Amino acid sequence: MAKIPKPLSPGEEEFALHCRYAGISYVREWQFCKPRGWRFDFAFLAKMVAVEIEGGTWTAGRHSRGSGYEADLEKYNQAALMGWKVLRYTPAMVHTGTAIDEVRAALGR
């Protein structure tokens, strides 16, 4: 049976739009740690910058509950040990332009 992809989040779609408008190339769902299957929402490979759009932060979603939060810490710490700079944003931070402004700065644009 084919794996059915999950629906794309509005925050991720808006951030992708901001990147396209700014002329910034990215890779979606970049698997940075194959043994664990960990992926980044967005990766800017040349600079080893990753972006995670964290949904559910105001609704007791996965990223703000104990086990989900702990799993995120493990993932982000491993990414840092591998040399990645991981920037994390809520959909609200994407919407205000904070995310794209900081990503542009991290990429030297």
Show the domains of the chain with their CATH numbers.
10-62+69-106 (3.40.960.10)
Contact between 83 and 48 under an 8 Å Cβ cutoff? The reply is yes
pLDDT in the model for residue 98: 98
User: Cα separation of 99 and 35, whole Å?
Assistant: 29
pLDDT in the model for residue 59: 52
- In the predicted model, what is the mean pLDDT of residues 64-73? 76
Residue 55, CA distances (Å) to 8, 14, 22, 62, 85 in order? 11, 13, 23, 8, 20
pLDDT over 60 at 36, yes or no: yes
pLDDT over 90 at 65, yes or no: no
pTM above 0.75, yes or no: yes
- The residue assigned the tokens 């995120």 is 72
